Each structure stands twice: as structure tokens, then as C-alpha cells.
Amino acid sequence: MTTLVKRCISSFVVLAVAGCIIFYCPNWVYLILTMSFIVLAANELFLIVERKGIFVYKYFGIGAASLIPVSIYLHLGENYTDIEPLLIVVACLFAFILQFVRREKAQDHLVSIAVTLLVLFYVSWFFSFFIKLKFIPDIGGRLVVFLILVTKIGDVAAYFIGKAAGRHKLIPRISPKKTVEGTIGGLLASIIMAVLLGQALALELGNMLFVGLFLGVLGQVGDLAESLIKRDCDVKDSGASVPGFGGVMDLIDSLLFTVPIFYFYVKMVL
């Protein structure tokens, strides 16, 4: 089975499962799905950093990363006190405190702390905005689907157009296979998808043109950001848990910047 076929099957399965959970399952199931992505992605990121020889408190980082979406869900879904900011501050505090108990000649304290904070913010907190987006009254589930489809169609179009017509490398030192032609094609696909879905949601054309463009751009930046991490750690994929993609980080990388910024755009503009 070719990589392309595996990627198509994996995409269909993930989208089908996510769609069923978003629209037909209780919110706590949606929380578990979100946490699963965060925990698996955090574990992958810690593992590739460890292979580079950097010491990290992996289990603390994964545990703290899993608590952030829980705190958001308990506040929005169960009306508990909002402890999300406090939890993030405490997790950052312990990322430093844990370095105090390492052996006397331990090295890479700064890098170890930075990696832990990267996982907490870049993976866990950013991806947890899917919970905040879902709990927007009346339209939250549809906004989640809108965001995923607009972002991922840009990925798909960039991949196929890049393979078929790509001639000019975008940033070869970071991602050798990405091309200017593929990037432009991906942006256009995101804009078209945003306009089409925006009509179904009765949203203004001007807003959807802008949203399609900035989601397309942010999706490409997210993909390049993960490529930068992988190149620095000298790995091709973040893992091997998702056939056709590699790891969970390879699957969600383009969403990590789009979801928090889209959430704030919806709250402030739409």
C-alpha cells in the first residue's frame, strides 16, 4: 500500500471519528479525544528531543500538558472555577524547580526547561483552544469542523500541487519537499473552502476570504514550524502511529497556530 493511499485512509478515519464525536457524543468524549492528541503529540516531541541527547522530565511534561485541556473543560463545560492561568503558571514554575534536583554537573538546564515550556504552550495550550472553540454557544461544533477542513484542505492541496507542478523550493533547509507552487495552491484551496463553508454557515464573503487566507498562511507556518523542530533533531517524522503521515505531531502541526488565532478572531470579529 502506497504512502498516498495510507494517508487518504488515515485522513478519512480521523475525520469520520472526529465528526461523530463533535456532533453526536457527550462533551467529555470530545475532551478525551483532544487530550489524546495532546498526550501523544507531547510524548513524540519529548522522545525526539531525548534522542538528541537532551534531558527532559518527560512524564511531568506529559502530565502537565494533559491537565490544561481538563481545566478548560471543567470551567466551560462544568462551570468550575477557571484555573487555567494558574495551572499554566504552576507548571512553568515546576519546570524550573525540577532542574534544582538534578545532579551537580548536569548540563542543558536552559534547553530542558525550554523544551518543557514548548510542549506546554505550543502543543497543549494551543491545541486546547479546540475545547474553547467547541464551547462557543450554538455554532461551536460547526466552527471546529470549519477550521479543520479549511486548514487541512490547504495541506492536501499543497501536497498534491507541489508534487505535480512544484518547481521552486520554498525553504529547502527546513523542508526540502515544500515548493512555492504548492504553497500558493494550498492558500487558494483554503480560501475556496472557507468561502464555500462560509456560505453554509451564513457568514459574510469578505470575512471568509480573509479567514481562508490567514488560516492557509498559519497552517503552512505550523507545518514549517514542526519541520524546523524535526530537522534540528535530525528525524524525518515525529513518530509512526498514523499511517501515511508519521506521528500525531505530523497530523496536527498545521492546526496548532490556526486554532487559537481563529478562536480569538471569532470572539472579537465574528
Q: What would the pLDDT profile of 38-83 be if each residue is shown by its tens digit?
A: 999 999 999 999 988 889 999 999 999 999 999 999 999 999 999 9
Which structural domain, as residue segments, surrounds residue 179?
3-268
Supply the pLDDT for residue 141: 94
Q: What total of structural domains would you count in the chain?
A: 1
Supply the pLDDT for residue 2: 66
Alpha helices in the chain, H assignment, sequence order: 3-24, 27-51, 58-78, 84-100, 109-118, 126-134, 140-165, 180-200, 205-233, 248-252, 255-268
Distance, CA of 204 to CA of 208 (rounded, Å):
6
Give yes or no for residue 130 having a pLDDT over 60.
yes
Give yes or no for residue 101 having a pLDDT over 70.
yes
Supply the pLDDT for residue 159: 86
Distance, CA of 251 to CA of 138 (rounded, Å):
28
| 3-state DSSP assignment of residue 169 | strand
Instruction: Return the DSSP state at 123.
Output: I
Supply the pLDDT for residue 246: 81
Supply the pLDDT for residue 108: 85
Supply the pLDDT for residue 107: 79
- How confident is residue 104, by pLDDT bands cut at 50, 70 and 90? low
In percent, the amount of the chain with pLDDT more than 70 equals 98
Supply the pLDDT for residue 42: 96
The pTM score is: 0.94
Distance, CA of 69 to CA of 126 (rounded, Å):
10
What does pLDDT average to over the chain?
Answer: 91
Mean pLDDT, rounded, for 249-256: 93
User: CB atoms < 10 A from the CB of 259, how many?
Assistant: 25
Mean pLDDT, rounded, for 196-225: 90
For residue 179, list its beta bridge partners. Answer: 169
- How confident is residue 172, by pLDDT bands cut at 50, 70 and 90? confident
CA dihedral 98, 99, 102, 108 (to 10 degrees): 140
Give yes or no for residue 1 having a pLDDT over 60.
no
Supply the pLDDT for residue 173: 86
Mean pLDDT, rounded, for 87-112: 88
* Nearest residue to 158 (alpha-carbon basis) of 170, 173, 144: 170
| CA angle (223 as vertex; 166, 12 as ends), nearest 5 | 85
Give yes or no for residue 198 having a pLDDT over 70.
yes
Supply the pLDDT for residue 67: 97
